[in-house]
Every structure is written in C-alpha cells, then in structure tokens.
Structure 1
Amino acid sequence: MQVMTPQKVALVTGITGQDGKHLSTFLHDKGYLVYGFIRGQNNPRRAELEASHPFVKMIEGDLTDPTSIVQALEVANPDEVYNLGAISHVGYSFKNPSLTAEVTGKGVLNVLESVRITGRAEKTRIYQASTSEMFGGLDYNRPGTGYNEDSLFHPRSPYGVAKLYGHWTAKNYRESYGMFVSCGILFNHEGEHRGVEFVTRKITHAVARIKYGLQEYVELGDLWPKRDWGYAGDFVKGMWLMLQHTEPDDFVLATGETHSIEDFLALAFAEIGESDWRPYVRQNPAFMRPAEVDILLGDPSKAERVLGWHREVDFPTLVSRMVQHDLARVGVATEASRG
C-alpha cells in the first residue's frame, strides 16, 4: 500500500505584495497548502489576490497585533512561515518612519515570539525577509565582488533601519531558542507583480501608457543610482531553498551585477522602438530621497554553493518581460475603454 506524504502547510505574511504572489504560486505548484496573512478592513488588494490566486486561504490579521498572529498560527498550524510583510517602500519610510518601525521592525519580533509561545519553535521553520538596504551602499563596506553575509551594515533609510532590527531579532531567536530561522538578504528583485509606486514598474507602466498615447512623460528622482536587479520569480525559489536546508542561516540572493536607472530606461523604451528615452523623462525633486544609496551590488556565491540557487532571468529579459506585461494590460484596458 502506498503511503501518502502529508501535505506541507505554509503561512505567508505580505501575501498581496510582489513576493507574496510569486511565492504562493511557487509553493502551490509544489503541493503546499498556502495560507495568506492579510490585513482586514476591506483590504483593496484582497479581491485581486482572490481572483488571481484562488488556492490561497486567507486569514485576517496585522503584524502589529500579536494576538492575530497567534490566531493565524493556530488556524494554519504551518510547517513553514514566510514573513514577507512590511512597509516596503524606501521613499515612503522617510514620510512614515514610526509606522515603518512598527510593521517592518517590531512586526518581525511579533511573528517570532508568537511562534515561540505557541509551542512551535521546534516544528515551524521561519523565513525572514531581510534586505540589501541594510548595507547602505557605502564603498568602505563593500568588497570588490559585492556585499556578502559578512559585510557590515549601515542602513540609510528608516526602512533599512527597521529591516536591520528585524534581521538581528531573527538571528537572536535562532541563537537563543534554537529556532529554525533563516534570513534572506535579498537585493533588488522586480517583476510583473511589482507595485507601480516602485521605480522599475513606474517606468514600465509609463512606457506602456506613452506607447498608447495616454501620457507624455514620466517623472522620476535621481537616475544615477545603481542596483543589483534580479527577477522576483527566481528569488522566491531561493527563499524556499533556505527552509529546505539542513541548518538555518543567512543568505544573500543577488545577480552579481549592477545597472543604473538610466540603463533600465534605455531598455524599457527600446521595447517600444524609442532609442532615446530622454524626451520622455522629467526629474522631480519630490522623488529624491534625503539619503540615497549610490550602489548596491550583491555576492550570491554562498547561496549558489550551499543551496544550489542560481538566477535564471537576466537584466534585459527582466525589463522586456515587465514592459510587455504592461503593454498587454494597458492595451486591453485601452481597447475596453474605446468599447
């Protein structure tokens, strides 16, 4: 008689965001039962997620409310928790630093403590979404091959500071209570599910609208910062691999190469046949940050060696995929409006 393997269960916070959507699809395809921890009160993103990811079981709660996290753990009884929930926009964190600290920083503590006090410290493996923004982009802090797991931290935004609090809290729970908590120090990763408030999706969405004559230009902040941009679909596989490893640890996920916002603009406008992006871009001081990170370059060699993780989508393909996605969406909407 064939013995059935029990279905694994995952609880994902921040499931309405880019990574949450990619990750829930990835886990579902692997046979997981996926629960999504989602803020209630008529969350505007809920209907969209229910339509695109009908397999996700929703549990309402808030990372600032430990009681709701405990209740979610009792309902889902997860084998794995992926804590992706955060105030994740760097620019927004300067405008709302207190809220960023409560959600992005203390929310990590609330998740970890809820797992511990409900007696799941030995059963449940936890992924904590750390970030390259913790490094701060300072030259003295970056080896020639890019930031790695041993690089010093120097965050330059309320978001980076809050994420660093969560990162060190996760490490503390790992060391103090023997909990399986792995931190993914992820460099910039983009894709079709990225919100339009983020610069990459703001660009590709604007390119599509310019193509269809719906707007004339896009307003941006500084164009010179360089980022290590990868594809979110590749990165969520790395999250999963961290929790399948024999020991909890910290891992950098990155591509090992950087590109400027100008590079992104050039490729994006080339997708609609425009060789010069400059006539379509205006710089607006309102989008410039009090402290900017010049360059973020990651060294993913540990994840490649230990986890067998490798990125599959290169930078030009990433930009092309995002532009084509937005061209299709805007095109459908435009045709519908013309009736």
Structure 2
Amino acid sequence: MLRVLVTGIAGQTGSYLAENLVAAGHEVHGVVRDGGAEGGVLPAAAALHVGDLTDHAAMRSLVLDLSPDVVVNLAAVSSVAASWRSPLETSLLNGTAVAALIAAVAEASSARHETAFVQASSAEIFGQPTVSPQDERTPIAPINPYGAAKAYAHHLVGAYRASGLRASSVVLYNHESPRRPEQFVTRKITAAAARIARGEQDELVLGDLDVRRDWGWAPDYADALARVATSDVADDYVVATGTAHSIHDFVAAAFARVGIHDTTGLVRSDAEFVRPADASELRGDASKIRTELGWTTTKTFTEIVDAMVDADR
C-alpha cells in the first residue's frame, strides 16, 4: 500500500484518480481549497487537507509532515481560455507553485524513504506542432499562457529526474466526463444540446468549430496517472487516444444523441469565443504507456459524448 498525496483532488480527473487509488487499496490524501468536488463525490476514505498550492510554505509543511510515497500534482488553472484572461495567476499556479512543490518532494525524499512526484502535464505544451501524432519526443513550443506554464513545469520534472528524483510527467490530451464543468467547451456543448432538446435554450454559440482535438475518457486518464504513480520507473508519458475530432464533430454527436440531426439555426460561431492563438489539431501517440505500463482506453469518442449528454438530459 502506498500513501499518495493528490493536489487538485476535487477536480474531474482528481476525483477519478482518488477513486482508482482507493479501490486499489492505497492510502489517499488530497489537497482541496474548499472541501468540494466538481460534479462528483470524493471517496470517504480519502483524507482531505485544506490548502492552496500557491502557499509554498504550507505545502512544504504538508509534504514533510505527511511523508507520502508519491505526490501527484493535478492542481492548476485548467482552462486555456482562462489563462489568456489571467496569465499571471496561471504562471503562479501552473508554474511557480510546481517548482515549490517538487522542491518540497525532493527535500522529503531520502535514502530511507523515497518520495516520487508525478506532474499532470498537457498536450498544450506542444503548441502548434509540425508533426502528428505527437509523442514524448515532440518539440515543446507552447503558444498560449497555459501551455507555457505547463511547459515550465514539464521541464522542471525533467531536471529533477536528472538529479535523481523519481519524477514523471504525464502529458494528458483532452479528457472528458460528466464531471467536466460547463465552462469547458465540451460540457457547454452537451449541456446546451440537452437544454435545446427540452426547449429551454434557443442556440449554442461557440468559437472555431474546425479546431481538432484528441478526446478521451477521464477515468481512463486517471488510470494512466495511477499507473505512473505506482510504477518504479520515472519517465514522461503521452496519454491520448490517437484519434482527433473537430468541435463540429463533437456538436454533431451531442445533438444526435438528443435526436437532432440538423443543427442549422441552432449552432453558430462567434469571434468573441475564438482564442488569440490555438493549435489547429492536437493528436497524441500513447504507444509508450500502452507498451510499458499496459494502459488502454475503454470508451470511444461517441460513447464519451453520449455519456456526457445523458448526464445533462
């Protein structure tokens, strides 16, 4: 049994990771700001600690006092759009706070009790990649504040791993579930499709409908994090399905689930929601984690959209 400390445990992926680890018999601790979870209930067995990742001294004390076997960092400004509105907050939480946390983990780790570190990275570190699909060797060249902060944290993990710390970075591509908050475009789409079908909303307004992303099932991605956290080997791993779909594809699938096959007059694009810079396509190659850690996906794109729409109906 491992003692695992998870920051961002109350979020979509953190809550699924907590469930995964508890089910496997591990002792789970989580850092929360207010004790709540987004759209889900954290397992009763998870011990919660109220804290803020940007309070570096408090986080250091927690790591040293708890002496976990693994720290998994999921706390972050998790929206690219939000990072454009709040670039300083994004850099402090997604970048500087990670530096303080991994330094605390390095301090806690010793010959008598090794503490490992797992960073939830993002496909946004690749920016507008010139190769597709992307893998662990793809050049890092972010094009938005979120990706830039995540890239800094990703490089920090590599630096600490080179120094001897068991530190891994898990490059997560887009992953969805009914626990995804509505400020994210995918949940905005599924919630709107359900409301329009009920006659409670007239139209859905989005940004660029041609942007393509590699969408997976959040519990599968939590499983990838759990596999890396419990592995004796530290490394970087891309987690993705290998298949990309457009926002338009997501819209079509969501509306089809509620019986609407012609969205003319119901869905439109508005420049207000178009990001200043955005990758036209992000698609990952997860061959490494599939081969080395036995990870796999359990839901198709359509099944993911259906599950989200069904939760909104």
TM range (shorter): over 0.9
**Identity fraction in percent:** 39
Aligned-partner residue type, residue 97 of structure 1: P
**TM-score, reference length from structure 1:** 0.88
**Match of residue 272 from structure 1:** 258
Aligned-pair CA distance for 1:50: 8.8
Aligned-pair CA distance for 1:13: 0.5
Matches within 5 A, 1:1-339: 7-39=1-33, 43=34, 46=36, 51-119=41-109, 123-138=114-129, 140=130, 142-143=131-132, 146-176=133-163, 178-327=164-313
Q: 1:59-116, CA deviations, whole angstroms, 9 ceiling, x for partnerless residues? A: 1221111111122224432111110001110001011101100000111111101112
Distance in 2 between residues matched to 1:244 and 1:77, nearest whole Å: 16
**How far is 1:120 from its partner?**
5.1
1:119: how far off?
4.1
Q: Distance in 2 between matches of 1:251 and 1:19?
A: 17
TM-score normalised to structure 2 length:
0.95
- For structure 2, which runs of at least 5 residues remain unmatched after alignment? none
Distance 1:97 1:115 in 2: 26
Deviations 1:112-144 (A, max 9, x none): 011122345852121101110011133x2x14x
In structure 2, C-alpha distance between the alignment counterparts of 1:244 and 1:46, rounded to whole Å: 26
- Helix, strand or coil for the counterpart of 2:143? coil
Number of equivalenced pairs: 312
| Contact preservation (8 Å) 1:16, 1:49 | no
* Superposition deviation, residue 46 in structure 1: 1.8
Q: Secondary structure at the match of 2:220?
A: helix
RMSD in angstroms over aligned alpha carbons? 1.7
Distance 1:55 1:246, change over 3 A: closer
For structure 1, the 5+ residue unaligned runs are: 1-6, 328-339
What are the Cα deviations for residues 287-312 of structure 1, in whole angstroms up to 9, with x where unaligned? 11110110001111111111111111
Q: For residues 120 and 324 of structure 1, do their structure 2 counterparts lie closer, same or farther at Cα, with a shift above 3 Å needed? A: farther
Contact persistence 1:127–1:182 (CA under 8 A): yes
Partners of 1:276 and 1:15 lie apart in 2 by 39
Tell me the amino acid that sits aligned with residue 291 of structure 1: A
User: Structure 1 residues 278, 57: CA separation in 2 closer, same or farther (over 3 Å shift)?
Assistant: farther
Q: In structure 2, how many angstroms separate the alpha carbons of the residues matched to 1:311 and 1:273?
A: 27
Residues 182 and 191 in structure 2, CA contact (< 8 A), matched pair in contact too: yes
- Larger helix share, 1 or 2: 1
After superposition, the Cα gap between the structure-2 partners of 1:293 and 1:50, relative to the gap in structure 1 and judged at 3 Å, is closer
Specify the structure having the higher radius of gyration (Cα). Answer: 1
Q: Does the 8 Å contact 1:61/1:72 carry over to 2?
A: no
